[in-house]
Amino acid sequence: MTERQRALGGVLSAGVVLALFPALGMPAFFESFLYLIFHWVALATSWSLLSGYAGYFSFGHGAFFGAGMYATATLAGSAGVPFLWTLPLAGLVSAALGAAVGAVVFRVKRLRGELFGLLTLAVTFVLATIVLNTRIDGGPGVYLNNVPVPKLVASPTGTIYLLGLVLALAAVATAYLVAHSRFGLGLFAIHDDEDVAEVKGVPTFRAKLAALALSAGIAGVAGGIQAIYVGYVTVGETFSITVPLYVVLMSILGGARHWLGPAAGAIIITASLYAFTGGESAVLGRAVVALLLILVILLLPDGIVPAVLAWRPRSRAQAISAPGSPVVDNAAAPMRAPAVAPSSPASSGHMATDRPASADHRWAPQRPRVGGSPGVSSQSLPVAPLLECRDVWRAFGGIQALRGVNVAVPAGEIVGLVGPNGSGKTTLINVISGHYPLDRGTISLAGTGLAGCPAHQIATLGVSRTYQIPRPFAHLTALDNVALAAAFGPERATTAAARDEALHWLEFTGLAHRKAMLPGQLNLHERKFLELARALAGRPRLILLDEVLSGLNPGEIANAVALIRRIGERGATILFVEHVMQAVLELSSRVVVLNEGEVIADGDPREAMRDPLVVQVYLGKSHVA
């Protein structure tokens, strides 16, 4: 039985057992109490789909809950629509509201973090004002006492209990399926570094919009059920700060990044709140509960569920199948350098598994090569450029970073991009990959224009890159960091296929033994190679390497150079920025030299390095022969 079957089977089994409770003839109080637990489980879990997974901390859940509540109140109370029919409509109303808010807010990149939270809170108050001052409410509230509750079981409270149970189970199952899907992997990446996620192929705008609509839709259905439960809907109670504060607290307590965390937090807090509802000890009891909750949050910042899983002996081995779950470091794990010697299984390009040998050739050579070192082209064969930059300009305020840059990279070649600090090398990489837009000029990949394309679309066309300072996704394991690039690259691999591809490239770079580690548990050398593995996993047509050798010692540089050479031997097209001139001369078939945003030399590496202008730029006029 797979992990997915076990998890969903457990949720379904719990649901079947709980569904039998109304038949036991329990007092209505217990049905109501359990319904409230289901209610908060659904709300907290739905909140985490955006705020926990993608990291967009929202205080607007009360708006979506309230929209669903008033949709049911209006349709069932005023329009005479049967109650059960109003629930999907309530979900659709709230999902539409969430999508409308997201379509505006997510287009403004500045609205992240606290600004996003405050804006969503403002949406709640704006919606409350509209409802209060229109015929939807008008002031006195909406009575639902006369709305018939369908008799799914003997009592109305039993029916409401079952509806709450079904919604809670659906919310938890949805959270699990999202967390273990390509969609969820993209959301976790957005949480850690949205800009890098976009460059790696994640359509961040669409992903956030879908997560918000799904989150709001579940909250809307919860609001519709709650409307019939309370029987009297008012603006003051519906749009109070209680809902957003409770769902935030519940999710953080249980673990907002884990699919089961918000449900656990909702159960704990709801049970604690109702354990002290009367008598002389009520105030003191709630104060003690509040203090315990504060201590738990301070001592277990990732939440109760992730902390419990981290203590389990098998949690480390299972981490690779649960994106976003924290991993406990194994102090006994050896820290060995990535293997690149030809005699090693990793360096030879063949996996130490029973994978067919043909599966190792991730690139077919783009053109024939005639002798020489990897990347050296044959003079007798004309090669059309895979990448072509024409008259590329980019400014930052009054600083002109690129001034009419022209660069062509033939298919299957390794081209070095060098120049002093501040010459525009990384800016050109950022412009090609879509991180920054062009001011003017054209960039094309195999004849397809890239100017104006979003970064995720450029990634799907086959452009992949590394970063000068490694930017892995901090809360994803090494395996999932690499798998994300395969899942959102040109091949659009399934989650299982993406992890299989990721494992291959981790073995290729010598990091297979670190696959379950978080990036923070890797040294700089390993993080650099993790960047390389992630760039390779998408099977790109063009690889942009940004100073992959910086910060490495001589032995590590030798390993990295050998690895890049092996990548070139597979027919990859590489444009790489580097300051280590020995590596540039050893690997490159051609060198482009930038200075102050302009190309000052383009040609054979050794001839370019002897160019008087290049020498002057690097060493000064007195060194020019």
pLDDT at 216 over 80: yes
- Report the CATH number that the domain containing residue 64 is assigned in CATH: 1.10.3470
Domain count, the chain: 2
Lowest mean pLDDT among 85-99, 149-163, 519-533: 149-163
Residues 295, 412 within the same domain: no
Structure tokens at 594: 């930038």
Average pLDDT over residues 28-57: 93
- With cut-offs at 50, 70 and 90, classify the pLDDT of residue 322: low
- With cut-offs at 50, 70 and 90, classify the pLDDT of residue 616: confident
- With cut-offs at 50, 70 and 90, classify the pLDDT of residue 281: low
Round to whole Å and give the CA distance between 381 and 113: 54
Round to whole Å and give the CA distance between 226 and 492: 41
Residue 293's pLDDT is 76
pLDDT at 209 over 60: yes
Residue 352's pLDDT is 34
Average pLDDT over residues 24-42: 89
- Report the CATH number that the domain containing residue 610 is assigned in CATH: 3.40.50.300
pLDDT at 435 over 70: yes
Higher pLDDT, 282 or 476: 476
Q: Is 376 among the domain residues?
A: no
Higher pLDDT, 549 or 274: 549
Residues 430, 301 within the same domain: no
Residues 306, 220 within the same domain: yes
Average pLDDT over residues 501-521: 94
Q: Is 268 among the domain residues?
A: yes
Residue 383's pLDDT is 60
CA-based nearest residue to 317, from 3, 624, 10:
3
Residue 341's pLDDT is 38
Give residue 181's domain range. 14-272+281-311
Q: Is 346 among the domain residues?
A: no
Average pLDDT over residues 377-406: 82
Residues 439, 550 within the same domain: yes
Residue 338's pLDDT is 44
Q: Is 118 among the domain residues?
A: yes
- With cut-offs at 50, 70 and 90, classify the pLDDT of residue 401: very high
Structure tokens at 333: 């794990």
- With cut-offs at 50, 70 and 90, classify the pLDDT of residue 513: very high
> pLDDT tens for residues 326-373?
444 443 344 344 444 333 333 333 333 333 333 344 444 333 333 333
Query: pTM for this structure?
Result: 0.86
Residue 319's pLDDT is 42
Residue 163's pLDDT is 95
Question: How far from 280 is each of 276, 287, 291, 416, CA to CA, in Å?
Answer: 10, 13, 19, 77
- With cut-offs at 50, 70 and 90, classify the pLDDT of residue 279: low
Q: Is 319 among the domain residues?
A: no
Residue 571's pLDDT is 85
Residues 525, 613 within the same domain: yes
- With cut-offs at 50, 70 and 90, classify the pLDDT of residue 78: confident
- With cut-offs at 50, 70 and 90, classify the pLDDT of residue 108: confident
Residues 306, 390 within the same domain: no
Residue 619's pLDDT is 65
Residues 540, 448 within the same domain: yes
Residue 90's pLDDT is 96
- On average, the pLDDT of the chain sits at 84
Residue 569's pLDDT is 86
Q: Is 349 among the domain residues?
A: no
> pLDDT tens for residues 218-258?
999 999 999 999 999 999 999 998 899 899 999 999 999 99
Q: Is 616 among the domain residues?
A: yes
Residues 100, 208 within the same domain: yes
pLDDT at 538 over 70: yes
Q: Which residues of 308-321 are buried (b: 16+ CB within 10 A; e: fewer)?
A: bbbeeeebbeebbb
Residues 267, 415 within the same domain: no
Lowest mean pLDDT among 214-218, 350-354, 450-454: 350-354
Residue 124's pLDDT is 93
Percent with pLDDT over 90 in the chain? 56
CA-based nearest residue to 252, from 296, 309, 204, 311:
296
Residues 212, 68 within the same domain: yes
Q: Is 538 among the domain residues?
A: yes
Residues 434, 546 within the same domain: yes
Burial class, 449, CB count within 10 angstroms (exposed 0-12 / middle 13-18 / buried 19+): exposed
Residues 293, 389 within the same domain: no
Largest CA distance in the chain: 99
Could you tell me which residues are beta bridge partners of residue 400? 395
Residue 531's pLDDT is 94
411 φ/ψ sector (left φ>0, alpha ψ -120 to 50, else beta): beta
